[in-house]
């Protein structure tokens, strides 16, 4: 299994945990927890695959995605009493997933010879839109529509990946730096309460 495939499965796993944690916090039943974990894990990638015309979408062709989601949801349920007291556990899993799927989507765009801006958009979509679907189903305002810096971190991650890929750095280094960039931006934004401006009429 190549590093790219490992990252894809890992991203699916950590996003499924983040979705399951939200569902547990919302006091959903096991089926609801699985559904929220599932859509969080594959929602962004499914939308990406539909837009680029890849049929069937990735998770329908590889059962490893389904196994990773099931395993993640079971772990979240079994260890919910410990995980739920870790105030930053959801943030951690969500941020790692965001970084990994930013890479996945951006590389898909590059592989298909799309314009760099389109590749970055695919990376942001892959990273952020599973969370959008999760939040909508959980009756929350999606995080990317609030002031919190989330999709912006994915955009900068995509830009980083494009630049590093242009200089033909080793893949492992490119992946590590890109994920680290996304995580660092999220951490800095949360620590120092940085956010995008909002515009409203008084």
Q: What is the pLDDT of residue 63?
A: 94
- How far apart are alpha carbons 196 and 30 in whole angstroms? 36
Return the structure tokens found at 80: 């919910």
- Are the C-beta atoms of residues 105 and 48 closer than 8 Å to each other? yes
User: Scanning the structure block, which residue is given the tokens 């965001």?
Assistant: 98
Q: What is the pLDDT of residue 1?
A: 59
Q: What is the pTM of this model?
A: 0.89
**Pick the residue with more confidence: 82 or 44?**
44
Q: For 82-113, what is each residue's pLDDT tens digit?
A: 765 555 667 888 889 999 999 999 999 999 99
């Amino acid at each position: 299994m190549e590093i790219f495939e490992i990252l894809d499965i890992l991203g699916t796993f950590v996003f499924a945990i983040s979705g399951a944690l939200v569902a547990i916090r919302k006091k959903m039943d096991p089926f609801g927890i699985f559904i929220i974990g599932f859509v969080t894990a594959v929602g962004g990638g499914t939308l990406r695959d539909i837009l680029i015309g890849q049929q069937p979408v990735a998770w329908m062709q590889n059962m490893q995605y389904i196994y990773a989601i099931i395993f993640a949801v079971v772990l979240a349920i079994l260890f919910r009493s410990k995980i739920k007291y870790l105030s930053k556990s959801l943030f951690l899993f969500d941020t790692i997933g965001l970084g990994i799927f930013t890479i996945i989507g951006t590389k898909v765009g590059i592989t298909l010879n799309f314009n760099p801006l389109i590749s970055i958009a695919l990376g942001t979509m892959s990273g952020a839109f599973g969370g959008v679907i999760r939040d909508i189903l959980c009756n929350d305002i999606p995080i990317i529509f609030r002031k919190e810096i989330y999709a912006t971190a994915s955009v900068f991650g995509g830009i980083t990946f494009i630049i590093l890929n242009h200089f033909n750095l080793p893949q492992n280094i490119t992946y590590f730096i890109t994920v680290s960039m996304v995580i660092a931006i999220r951490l800095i934004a949360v620590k120092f309460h940085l956010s995008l401006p909002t515009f409203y009429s008084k």
